[in-house]
Chain A
């Protein structure tokens, strides 16, 4: 499982990375643990919980940069990216995980950012469409989308590209049918599917050749 609230599954660091706040909130538990009957119980020493209520600071590492926002726990990762960090490349389509327009990478895996909370994604590596190019050099799949005319209105495109990049990395774009199946979470209302498929398959082929 890589969707940990913590940086590392074994770590007992709080989300904000501050050991001081951890000690503060865990004080009661640690104090208890010092009493002889509890010393051997490792579970008690590391048990951790911390309630967040109302507008609170959150740290999100997006495209390699850690940024702090002030938001309620109910703010989705998608809304945090768009409304708080003004990274509007990630699109809100259905807002219910059905269209794929909001696809981003978290710890290298593609997810839909509308069905996860920003607060659950602290301490993780978040990559959006804005983080794909290296300077002025487009990602090969971005180049391929232009070459194959893989969009019309463009609204699904950033999600398609983020999903496509992951699909190739996962090794799920080795045949047309496999690629169609593993890209089925991204809907294109303009119907640019043949061109999207051509773009993703071309990049998968390039990677296969090394």
Chain B
């Protein structure tokens, strides 16, 4: 790990000013991903600006939905009574992620900015278009068994966000509040936060340099109340998803009035499926409908040599998640 200077602050304005002064610096909150990467010299920063004392906490009901401060910890949000009651899928996505220790440390804002677990990205001995733009992508014809099948490009097939929370937030139309270097706030739907790799996989999201995530707001909805997050892994716990599904259904008298579907583990970015939602909406809540939705969700899949199994795995994960919410 390179040496760095460390600057704690309790003010967003001050944090942003420090970052403007040293553009190569970075913010640090939970530190779990940051130190993990700094220890293997994957990233180097001359200065860490500690934002933990910023007043970005609190989980509160607003007219726009439940507003969660970006410095809330994964464990606190996952077990918060309002999150559990109104957004079970969000709660489950948090509590099925990482370990109890890491959930006590990691912040919500930091969670959204996790980096890929692609082995070629994390090992500087290999080329990687994400790490060194234009250097190549050995994953295309290499060990790609864990990598993405949706939203891929010839330049990158890594999951830009390998985690769980964003998948659930994506399903329920969460909105991020960001504050830029000029102290101005803007609201960005999470549906347009992550960027497909295309030819520029090093550009992962729409954050401007120095911009801070200050809060996440999730609108209230019946399909969010009746929701679940199903995560399939190589072992039962403490692993990244091979495939996961965040789903929500509003079912009235056997008919689906509204549906939300997002998939994790299979897309280069958290993957919302309007195709599946279209099939589900207005249809009877039956296995046949769920199977048709799952087929539609994976229709565009482009598996490589070792990850073809993910097509069926993701379909089955989605069907089972839909069955679960339909019967609750």
Contact = CB atoms under 8 A, between A and B. Distances in A.
Contacts of B237: 180-181, 184
B7 interface: yes
B30 interface: yes
A156 interface: no
B13 interface: yes
A107 B164 CA distance: 27
A117 B52 contact: no
B41 interface: no
A119 interface: yes
Contact of B5 (A73, A76, A172): A73
B18 interface: yes
A150 to B, nearest CB: 18
Interface residues of B, number: 45
Most buried by A among B2, B47, B72, B104: B104
Contact of A110 (B3, B13, B35, B104): B104
Contact of B98 (A53, A120, A167, A185): A185
Nearest to B98: A185
How many chain A residues sit at the interface, stated as a range, is 35 or more
B36 interface: yes
Interface stretch (A62-70, A95-103, A131-139): A95-103
A54 B5 CA distance: 7
A46 interface: yes
Interface stretch (A1-9, A30-38, A82-90, A140-148): A1-9
A185 B99 contact: yes
B98 to A, nearest CB: 7
B3 A74 contact: yes
A52 B47 CA distance: 10
B10 A47 contact: yes
B11 A52 contact: no
Interface string B1-37: 1111111111101110010000000001011100110
